[in-house]
Amino acid sequence: MSELLDEKSLLNEKRGATLKVLAILSWVWIGLGTLMTLPGIFSGPMTPEQLEDAKVEILSMVTPESQKILGPDFMNENIAILERTNELHYSIMGLNISSYILGFYAVFLMYNLKKKGFYLYVLYSLIPVISPLLFFEPGPIRGMTIGVWLFLASVFCILYGVQTKRMA
């Protein structure tokens, strides 16, 4: 019994607090993302009526000030993304769920001090950066989305990368 406790204590010491915190943060992020994706999988794409209502809602938010700040094509791009997302609903949902499974597994491997997990995590981090390139037309929304995901991916990949010295 004490051997098992000693082994667990040694593993916790080798893992370190930073890796443990990063893993917990990643699992929470992945869990929230999965919970937000699941309803979309079960509800399916929007009906034509729901799609029209969503377009009207987007257009109702346009003010002359917002049009001036965001540019004339911002709302058109927003509507194009809405239509494309609805058109490719199941492909996008499948990619999201697959990505979350990959991310969970990658973090699990890193938590268990396997360096292979880091490489899988890098792949997982690139999926949200690349997917807007696959699904959406060029524009400011796509550019901002890619920029935000690239920043988040870089930060976490660097933080995990520093921890690879602990992994075998």
Predicted local distance difference test score (pLDDT) of residue 20:
93
Assigned domain for 63 exists = no
For residues 123 and 117, give the distance between their C-alpha atoms in angstroms, rounded to a whole number: 10
In a domain, 28, yes or no: yes
pTM, rounded to two decimals: 0.83
- How many residues can be counted in the chain? 168
With a cut of 70, say whether residue 66 has pLDDT above it: yes
Identify the weakest region by mean pLDDT among 11-15, 76-80, 127-131, 149-153.
Answer: 11-15
Q: Domain containing 122 — which CATH number?
A: 1.20.120
Q: Who has greater pLDDT, 27 or 69?
A: 27
Task: Please report whether residue 65 resides in a domain.
Answer: no
- Between the ranges 3-12, 40-49, 73-82, where is the mean pLDDT highest? 40-49
pLDDT at 62 > cutoff 80: no
CA nearest 28: which of 99, 120, 100, 92?
A: 100
The domain in which residue 149 lies consists of 14-43+90-166
Identify the band that residue 103 occupies on the pLDDT scale cut at 50, 70 and 90.
very high
- Answer whether residue 84 is part of any domain: no
pLDDT tens, position by position, 115-148: 999 999 999 999 999 999 888 888 888 888 999 9
Structural domain count, the chain = 1
Cα–Cα distance measured from residue 123 to residue 87, given in angstroms and rounded to the nearest whole number:
26
Do the beta carbons of residue 19 and residue 111 sit within 8 Å?
yes
In-domain check, residue 97: yes
82 inside domain: no
Could you tell me if residue 133 is inside a domain?
Answer: yes
Domain-located, residue 50: no
3-class secondary structure for 22-84? HHHHHHHHHHHHHHHHHHHHHHCCCCHHHHHHHHHHHHHCCCHHHHHHHCCCHHHHHHHHHHH
Contacts of 11 (CB under 8 A, 6+ apart): 113
